[in-house]
Structures are given as C-alpha cells and as structure tokens.
Structure 1
Amino acid sequence: MWTRNSAFLLAIAFTTATPSARGLPVDDRVPGGIAVIPIGDMTRPEVYLEQQRVLVVGSPGRWHAVAGIGLDVTPGEISLQVGKPGAARRIPLKVLPRDYPTQHIQIQDQRKVEPLPGDLQRIELETARMAAVKAHWTELEDPALDLRQPVAGEISGNFGLRRIYNGQPRQPHGGMDIVAPKGTTVTAAAAGRVALVGDFFFNGITVIIDHGQQLVTMYCHLDRVQVKPGEALVAGTPIGAVGQTGRATGPHLHWGAYLNGAAVNPALLLGATSR
C-alpha cells in the first residue's frame, strides 16, 4: 500500500542516490553560521564539535562535515575532531566575528517579557523537551541540505538580531521571521519525521522536524497543526498554518534551523531557487 511513509522512503532513496549532485549550505564561519569542511577519508568519518556529533555527507574521499556554530561561540579558533573520541585528529577552524543588529520590540503582554514564577517552571520544562529533540541523533546517510522556505512572505526578523523587548534585553533571535496572513499554509522545509508538536509559552503552537544527523527545523507561532509526532514527511508537505500564538506581535512564522544542537541561520540552508 502507498502511504506517506512510502513517499518519505522514496524521497530519501532518490536524494541519497547522487549525494555529490546535492547542494551544500553556504559556508559562513561566524557565530550562528555553518562551517562546511571537506574531509578526504575513504570511509565515512565520525566528526565532533564540542562533544556533539556533526553531520557528514558525501562519498568516499569526498566527504563534507557540516557543523553548526552556536551564537554564543566566541570568535577565534575552535576545532573539529575527526574520529572516535579519545583517538581523533584535529581540524582547526577559525570563527570570525559577526555584528548582529539590535531590534526593539514592544509587546502588550508583559508576562511574555517578565514571566511569573509558574510561567518560569513551565518554560524550564518546555526548554528541556525541545533541547532533547535538538540533541537527538537520527542516523541517515545523506540528509537533504538544500531546504525550501516553508512559507512565502516578507522577512520581518533576521537571524541573530539582538532583541530588546519593552526595553529589556533578551536572547538573540535564533531563527527567521516570515510575515504571512493568518491561516497561510506552512510546509516542511525538507523530508523528515515529526519529532515534537506542542503549545509552548514563548514559541506558541510549534512543530519540530528531525531531518537526520541532528539537522532539525522548527516552526513556531502556528495557528493550527495538521501533523502528528512520528509522522514521516516529504519536502513541501503541509504541516500547519501561520498564526500569532506565543510571544508574537502579529501573524508570522518563526522558522528555526539547528545543526549539532546549535541554532544556525536558516538562510544558509536554503536551496539556490529559494535564496
């Protein structure tokens, strides 16, 4: 019987058949960026950054490690470890500075700026749930790295913005905000499996998709969801609709992307036709 899972498996088989023809992300070695490192090993290497396993795609002698660089990383030299922990060789990597602009936002609900004690307990539990999903390693030979923008619209908030809510500094913006009318269909950026669906204090109604090898995308502030945890998806599958849930000043999609647990600029992963 043909099912959505069959479609997912077919899509994976097709995309892994010719990994050399598939796009790699933009190499931008800054906090919040992505490092694309060629590795000439004849067998698929295991690569680590700060004890987090790193996504590897390619073919014998032509591998590429695709490492997310956290927004909190201090510019300077860091290193990838190639091989099993304790017996690895080191590849130095220079992280360049990036001065992200500041964005001031006024919101009416002060609880979304200064949560109450009960809110803080909820936020702690929700943060732990999302962190576990982002840290989960799903073995997949060649995840798709040429993502598609999940909804058309104006970019109202770029990745990395230093955000100030009601005059109070908060965490940098870990995704891309795309403005679209409430109810506009949101689609999966690539083939994957739904890892988490929930309604969170800050993120509102949210879907997180696991694309394999710790490449994860997140879709927040949705009005409604039409997928379930564990469901296999192909690229372009409708997953929900644009909304204004959680900490949001208007209808939009917050789209996040994560590599080896680090939030990275989703624009670096967009396929050439989406850039």
Structure 2
Amino acid sequence: MTIKDCTKNSENKLLCLNITGDKPYRRVINLFIGIVASVPITLTLPADALQVKVTPSNPELGDTLSVIINLDNPDNGSNPKVAIGEKTYPTFAIAPNKYRAFVPTTPVETAGIRKLKISGDGQVQNLAVTVRNRKFPVQRITLPPGKSADGATEYELKRVAAFKALQTPQKYWNGSFGKPNTGRISTIYGVRRYYNGKFANDYYHRGVDYAGAAGSPVVAPAAGRVALVGRVSQGFRVHGNVVGIDHGQGVVSIFMHLSRINVKEGDIVKTGQLIGAVGSTGASTGPHLHWGLYVNGQAIDPVPWRFNGVE
C-alpha cells in the first residue's frame, strides 16, 4: 500500500513522502523527517584561494603589467606561475602569501589581448588583458665614422645581455623612481630610428635621454646593487662608459655614455647616490645621458615608474 506521509518543518513548511509499506516503517520515516526538518544545515564552500589583480587597468604598449597574486594556503613551498602562451614570467614574494610577476610590453609588439594563465594553490585562473596601441615618433640619426651602433664588441654584448637577464629575488627599490640627471629630456622612450638613412627594424629607443651638460652628475634613480661597470677601454664601443644597477626582481637600470664612473661592481647604492657623470662616450653624437629601464630583459617606459611607482 502506498500513502503520502507529511509533516511540518521548523519554518511551518509541509514536507511529504510517498511511503509504501507497513506502519512500523512509516513511523521510522516520520521520525527521520522530524529530525531533518528540525536541524538546520549549513553548507561551507571553499574560499577562492587564488586572487589576482593586474595593473595598470588600461595599459598601452611600453607599460609594465604588474600581476599581483594572493594565495590563501601556499602549502607546497613553490611560487605561483604566470604565463602568456609558452612564455613564463618569474614571480617573487612581496609580502606573506603575496606574490608578483612583471610582464613587460614594448613598441615593437602588436597591440591587443594578452591571455594570462596564473597557476597556484592547485588552481588555475585565466585572464585577458587588452594592451592599447601607442604612436611613437620617428627620428633620423647621422653617426660619424666609428660611432656606428653596429660596432659593438662580442664582449660588450655578452656582458650587457647577462646584466639585463638578472632576476634577483631581493627587492631593493622602494616607491617611485627619481630622475638620474637634472638635464632636459632630449629623446623620449620608444622613438623609432633611421641610422644614416637606414631604418632600424625591430629597434626602438630603449630608454630616456637627458641632455645634461658634460660632467654633470648622474645619480641612482632607485636603490640597488651595481652589477655592471664597463669602459671604452674594455671594448664597450657602443654603450661607452656604462653603469648597470640591479634593482631586484627582474628590474635593472643601465646608464650609458658616461664621462666618469664613481662606483664599482658589487656596491649597494641608495636613491640619489652619485654613480657617474654625463659624457659622450660610445655611440653618441654629443654629451647626454641614456637611461634604460629593463624588466625581465625588455626595455620598458621608465616614465610610469617615476610618476606612479611600483611597490
């Protein structure tokens, strides 16, 4: 025999079951219904352990994307991972359970969507970031004989490439970067160039030029460790007398064409500390300072680092 057995729960709502069988079974079922109806049930869902924030919110070519990752339960001792396609970017701890990766963009890239894959805490999050296009000016440079940008020595290229590839876990800088020289800016970041009438494919001005007077001070825009000192006498034909500062976590500064060098490799420098003087050594048409800021091996626009800062 089948009957409908009903009872009310704590909210005075009617609960019914179709029951087949004798009365003893019905009494057991009624008891079960009464227990279920009178005991509140709480479902606890796991918290989202992978929280990601990307800044700036509206980037353009030349900007540095800062990917901040918060992990609730980092239990395997490994840093989270950030990738775009087959390219991965190192992440570094910046606070307890908080990590960051920098993704550089450059003028020779194509504007559009960057698909980021972030992995950590056993979870994967996919984000799409749109990088806007940006127009860069074109400049024509005439270099005298012996000053060609193609005249770099193998030793010079190897030393500079190794310096730009540094990814030191320690973070030396704090807050916004300062100006390395008080002269006016003569060439902005990202300018495309013709050298002696020939367009330099895949080249862009990888920094900011300051038209400081010869011998005027060059100072560290942010704290760091001096990781490169090179001189014309050692074969630095293009960079000239050069100083490179490692700011940590994949961020490095290079200062070119110096007339004087006041630091040595291994020195720890503070913001504003004297490191050299403006000159015209190497591939240079006149006294000026070239400051290049590199992130994970790519030259990015230093201006946002000066005015916005990256903690």
Shift, 1:104, TM fit: 1.3
Structure 2 contact 91–100 (Cα < 8 Å) conserved: no
* Unmatched segments (≥5 aa) in structure 1: 1-23
Return structure 1 stretches of 4+ with deviation > 6 angstroms. Answer: 24-28
Instruction: Answer with 1 or 2: which has the greater Rg.
Output: 2
Deviation at 1:195, TM superposition (A): 0.6
Q: Shift of the alpha carbon at 1:187?
A: 0.6
2:194 pairs, out of 145, 153, 164, with 164
Task: Name 1:254's counterpart in structure 2.
Answer: 290
Structure 1 residues 100 and 248, CA gap change in structure 2 (3 angstroms): same
Q: How many pairs were matched up? A: 242
Deviation at 1:27, TM superposition (A): 6.2
Secondary structure in 2 aligned to 1:112?
coil
Q: Which residue of 1 aligns with 2:174?
A: 144
- CA–CA distance in structure 1, aligned partners of residues 70 and 60 of structure 2: 24
Question: Secondary structure at 2:248's aligned position in 1?
Answer: coil
Tell me: CA distance 1:222–1:25, structure 2 relative to 1, closer, same or farther (3 Å).
farther
Q: Which residue of 2 aligns with 1:216?
A: 252
Cα offset, 1:185, TM superposition:
0.8
Partner of 1:5: none
Partner of 2:49: none
Please report how far the alpha carbon of residue 96 of structure 1 lies from its aligned counterpart in structure 2 after TM superposition.
Answer: 1.7
Q: Tell me which residue corresponds to 1:51.
A: 88
Q: Aligned residue for 1:17?
A: none
- Identity across the alignment (%): 35
**Cα distance change of structure 1 residues 216 and 96 upon mapping to structure 2, 3 Å threshold:** same
Structure 2: stretches of 5+ with no match in the other structure: 1-53
Distance 1:244 1:25 in 2: 37
2:107 corresponds to which residue?
71
One-letter identity of the residue aligned with 2:160: M
* 1:160 CA drift (Å): 0.3
* CA distance in 2: counterparts of 1:136 and 1:69, whole angstroms: 18
Could you report, residue by residue, the CA deviation over 1:91-129 in whole angstroms, capped at 9, with x for unpaired residues? 3222221121101122223x43374xxx45x1x442232
Q: Does 1:179 align with 2:211?
A: yes
* Stretch deviating more after TM superposition (70-79 or 160-169): 70-79
Root-mean-square deviation (Å): 2.9
Change (3 A) 1:227 1:211: same
Residues 150/141 of structure 1: CA separation in 2 closer, same or farther (3 Å cut): closer
CA contact (8 A) 1:206 1:220 kept: yes
Question: How far is 1:169 from its partner?
Answer: 1.6
The structure carrying a bigger helix percent of its residues is 1
C-alpha separation in 2, matches of 1:252 and 1:162:
19
Q: Counterpart in 2 of 1:266?
A: 302
The answer for the alignment partner of 1:96 in structure 2 is: 132
Structure 2 distance, partners of 1:154, 1:57, is 34
Aligned amino acid, residue 220 of structure 2: A
- Give the letter for the 2:147 counterpart: K
Q: Quote the Cα distance in structure 2 between the aligned partners of 1:193 and 1:142.
A: 8
d(CA) in 2 for partners of 1:55 and 1:157? 33
Provide the TM-score with structure 1 as the length reference: 0.77
Kindly provide the amino acid, as one letter, of the partner of residue 95 in structure 1: V
Report the 3-state secondary structure (helix = DSSP H, G, I; strand = E; otherwise coil) of the residue aligned with 1:126.
helix
Q: Which structure carries more strand by proportion?
A: 2
- TM-score after normalising by structure 2: 0.69
